[in-house]
Structure 1
Amino acid sequence: MFEYHGWVTVRESTGDDEDGRLARIVDELRAYVAELASPYLLDLRRMNGEPFIHLGGHANHRSPDVAELLAHVGAVAPGSYGLVHVRDDEDPGYENEVRVLRLVRGVVTVHTETLLSPCVPALEDPYMP
């Protein structure tokens, strides 16, 4: 089982977008998102003039697209930031944890989400045969 929920604020840089590069970046990201053709939640839209990506899904197996999407956004828009919570019961050593992919200043890092981990007993009861 691979469950994920997250958001990214898309920014061209950590400063002001003075020459309109953000509009071109958003157009490129819109095409990239369309190519992924996810059957789950994957949405790039503007809210109050600012571009955001929202994503979520629940698949039978791990999808590398989630981490690749964050890395791609960080590469083309290094001022972007966001979090994606991931639960992957096939991730060796982390089967009982919710992990957080963090995008900040073009870099994706992975952390344990202590508010939801360990999944058993925080989210679910132990299995009793």
Structure 2
Amino acid sequence: MFEYHGWINVQESAGADDEDCEDGRLRGIVEGIERRIREIDSPYLLDLRWMNGQAFVHFGGFCNHRHAEIVEFFEEVGERAPGSYGLLHVRDDEDPARGNELLVVRLARGRVSEHSEPLLSPCIPVLEDPFEG
């Protein structure tokens, strides 16, 4: 099982301000992100919305196997818009190294890092009872 939930605030740079949106640079970046979303579209949640002049990407899904494109796309947004920041929570029970952890993928200043989510890990026993067979 591969479960994921997340968001990104899309920013052209860490020093971005209202002028970035006004001159179209951010809109151009967002248009590229929207095209990429259409390319990897799936039945799960992956959309981009403007809210109060800011562009946000939202993620959510629960599929049978790892959906590598989701994590790759999270990284890609950071490359396209290096001022972006956000979090992606991932649970992948097929990952041999982290199958019992909830992973947090953090995007800050265009850089991606991975961390164990201490509030929800280890998944067994924090989220689920141990399997007794």
TM-score by length of 1: 0.96
Q: Is the CA contact (8 Å cut-off) linking 2:6 and 2:89 kept in structure 1?
A: yes
For 2:97 and 2:25, the matched residues in 1 are separated by 41
Which one of the candidate residues 104, 125, 130 is aligned to 1:126?
130
1:102 matches 2:102? no
Cα offset, 1:70, TM superposition: 1.2
Cα offset, 1:20, TM superposition: 2.7
1:4 matches 2:32? no
Cα offset, 1:76, TM superposition: 0.7
Identity %: 59
Q: Which residue does the alignment assign to 1:49?
A: 53
Q: Is the CA contact (8 Å cut-off) linking 2:16 and 2:83 kept in structure 1?
A: no
Which one of the candidate residues 94, 110, 120 is aligned to 1:116?
120
Cα deviations by residue, 1:13-33 (Å, 9 ceiling, x for unpaired): 011353431010011111111
Residue 39 of structure 1 aligns to a residue in which SS?
coil
Cα deviations by residue, 1:88-129 (Å, 9 ceiling, x for unpaired): 001112110000111111111110000000000000011112
Q: Which runs of 5+ in 1 are unaligned?
A: none
Q: Which residue does the alignment assign to 2:73?
A: 69
For 1:30 and 1:15, the matched residues in 2 are separated by 23
Mapping 1:79-90, distance limit 5 Å: 79-90=83-94
Q: Which runs of 5+ in 2 are unaligned?
A: none
